[in-house]
Amino acid sequence: MTWLARALAGPMLWGALFSAVYALHGAGCNLGWTQVSLGPVDLHRGAMWAVWAAGLAVHVLLVVTMPAGQGRARRIIVAGSLIGLVASAFTLFPVIATSTCF
């Protein structure tokens, strides 16, 4: 059963990351973080970038530390890890450039 938990780690991380970035987005717009400058970007976008990048780093870690071996269980672990990485990259890429609070 631990293999199933390992396979679900990627999608779980996507869930946490997606919720975190969406919550940051909502909080930032309502608490005026766009007014706070943080070097080249504002605090709002900076915070979302940081969380997204950190999450993607953990995803990559999950992908590179996949156990070696054969069989269905391992294939499902590989698939789960990649689903997580692709989902986090694909669903959150709008943080790069879309307008934040309009």
The binding site for another protein (CB under 8 A) comprises 1-4, 7-8, 11-12, 14-15, 18, 21-23, 25-27, 29-31, 71-73, 75-76, 79-80, 83, 86-87, 90-95, 98-102
User: Min. distance of Cβ 28 from another protein in angstroms?
Assistant: 10
Between 54 and 79, CB nearer to another protein: 79
Spell out the residues 6+ positions from residue 66 whose beta carbon is closer than 8 angstroms to its own: 74, 77, 78, 81
62 CA to centre of own chain: 12
Nearer to another protein, 67 or 94 (CB): 94
Nearer to another protein, 60 or 91 (CB): 91
- State the nearest-atom distance from the C-beta of 99 to another protein, in Å: 6
Express the helix, strand and coil content of the chain in percent, nearest 5 each: 80, 5, 20
CA distance 100 to 46: 11
